[in-house]
Amino acid sequence: MASPPPLPPFAAIAVAAGKGLRVGGDTPKQFRAYRGKPLLRHSVEALIAAGADPLVVVIGADAAGEAAAALAGIAVRFVPGGATRQESVRAGLEALVEAAPAHVLIHDAARPDLPREVIPRLLAALDEHPGAIPVLPVVDSLAVAGDGGVMTGKAERESLRRVQTPQAFRYADILAAHRDWEGTPDAGDDAQVLMASKGSVALVDGDERLKKITFAEDLMDQATAPAFRIGQGYDVHRLEAGEELWLGGVLIPHDKGLSGHSDADVALHAITDAVLGAVGEGDIGTHFPPSDPQWRGARSGRFLEHAVSVARGAGYAVANVDLTLICEAPKIGPHRPAMRAEVARLMGLAENAVSIKATTTEKLGFTGRGEGIAAQAIVLVTRTP
């Protein structure tokens, strides 16, 4: 496999000065073990592998020994943080004055799984904006809570996004913004600091793998998790005239198509449920509720890619998928190669890890009468290192 292309030069700041009280215990969470190494080390290694130079790690005033042990053998510069997150980030930025990088990434040490593909999206956005942040859509309904724990209204999730790190900035702009910051209380993140100085912040696609470690259960060492897990999925949709027929991400010519809120691709829906089930993350309706108008007519490939990302965030990679389609018509055989290739692409698998089969019910039941198509899938996921 070819190496990914090099990224434009950038510096990075890993913010590791907090106490992490919600995770429990006396040791700050950034120095606790996660998947066989200190939490902080995961994100620092990812930033270095992506080309961060120089890299500053902001730590608590009394954490020099723990930080040095966590990053033993890695050449980074430690900088003492401040009383607030904003003060800590500013300390990191000031430490880069002599290097004067064009761009800087600011990343929370509590997000150990940093997919490399997020970084070029952030850096590219800096061509047009002084700042860029990775975000994810809000898929749950939102309620406004009043006194006494009573719902007083709802928030429109369509205009809301979940914010992640690393956040990317033109160095001169974010340094000036932090120097001018007069906000009270502490800034929630660096994008807010930049916006306070009238800087625009671009939104780019984030990644479910950028999950923040917050509670003790989040720190459970994956070495104690099962080496593999299995999930199964099943889906049915009605055949109707005037609808398109999407199966396995492929548009198939037929006199009828599948009816549903999205594109009704039973093949991808079954596989999506199998992936989510394997890692105990609910089902497709949990993540993409049919009551939500934003998913009307959506391509089911988006659902499957999301499920694979959720599995990665849980520390698992998909090993193989076995899908069975149940219908009298159309004939699946002529379309099997294209479907297999598309499923493999969506899941990041080799084609020989994708099996697609078809069967009939000998004209029995709703599939036998040509009223609909059913699909069932089994997926194996394996623990990642």
Interhelix angle 336-347/300-313, nearest 10 degrees: 40
Residues in the chain: 385
Q: CA 2, 8, 9 angle in degrees (round to 5)?
A: 120
Q: What is the pLDDT of residue 220?
A: 57
Q: CA 100, 104, 108 angle in degrees (round to 5)?
A: 135
Longest CA pairwise span in the chain (Å): 76
Burial class (CB in 10 A: 0-12, 13-18, 19+), 298: middle
Interatomic CA distance for residues 272 and 293, integer angstroms: 20
Domain ranges of the chain: 11-219, 225-383
Q: b/e string for 36-52 if b means 16 or more Cβ within 10 A? A: eebbbbbbbebbeebeb
Is residue 171 within 8 Å of residue 104, measured between CB atoms? Answer: yes
Q: Which residues lie closer than 8 Å to 147 by C-beta, 6 or more apart?
A: none
Q: Around 105, how many Cα atoms within 13 Å sit in the side-chain half-sphere?
A: 35
Is residue 355 within 8 Å of residue 380, measured between CB atoms? Answer: no
The strand pair at 201-205 and 131-137 is best described as: parallel
The strand pair at 354-359 and 316-326 is best described as: parallel
At 192, which helix (H) or strand (E)? Answer: helix 190-196
Collapsing DSSP to helix, strand or coil, 283 comes out as: coil
DSSP string covering 264-278 = --HHHHHHHHHHHHH
Q: What is the pLDDT of residue 32?
A: 83
State the fold for domain 11-219: Spore Coat Polysaccharide Biosynthesis Protein SpsA; Chain A (3.90.550)
Digitized pLDDT (tens) for each residue of the chain, 385 residues in all: 345 667 889 999 999 987 655 444 567 888 887 776 788 999 999 999 999 999 999 999 888 999 999 899 898 999 999 988 999 999 999 999 999 999 999 999 999 989 989 999 999 999 999 999 999 998 888 888 888 888 888 888 888 999 999 999 999 999 999 999 886 667 779 999 999 999 999 999 999 889 888 765 565 555 567 889 999 999 999 999 999 999 999 999 999 999 988 899 999 999 999 999 998 888 888 888 777 777 788 899 999 998 998 888 777 899 999 999 999 999 999 999 999 999 999 999 999 999 999 999 999 999 999 999 999 999 999 987 6
Residue 129 per-residue DSSP state: -
State the fold for domain 225-383: 60s Ribosomal Protein L30; Chain: A; (3.30.1330)
Residue 307 per-residue DSSP state: H
Interatomic CA distance for residues 16 and 62, integer angstroms: 12
Phi and psi, residue 359, nearest 5°: -150, 165
Is residue 269 within 8 Å of residue 251, measured between CB atoms? Answer: no
Q: Which residues lie closer than 8 Å to 73 by C-beta, 6 or more apart?
A: none
Interatomic CA distance for residues 94 and 333, integer angstroms: 63
pTM for the whole structure: 0.62
Q: Which residues lie closer than 8 Å to 194 by C-beta, 6 or more apart?
A: 130, 131, 169, 173, 174, 177, 201
Interatomic CA distance for residues 289 and 276, integer angstroms: 14
**CA-wise closest residue to 164 among 220, 238, 108, 116:** 108
Task: Measure Cα distances from 295 to 75, 180, 209 in Å.
Answer: 46, 42, 22
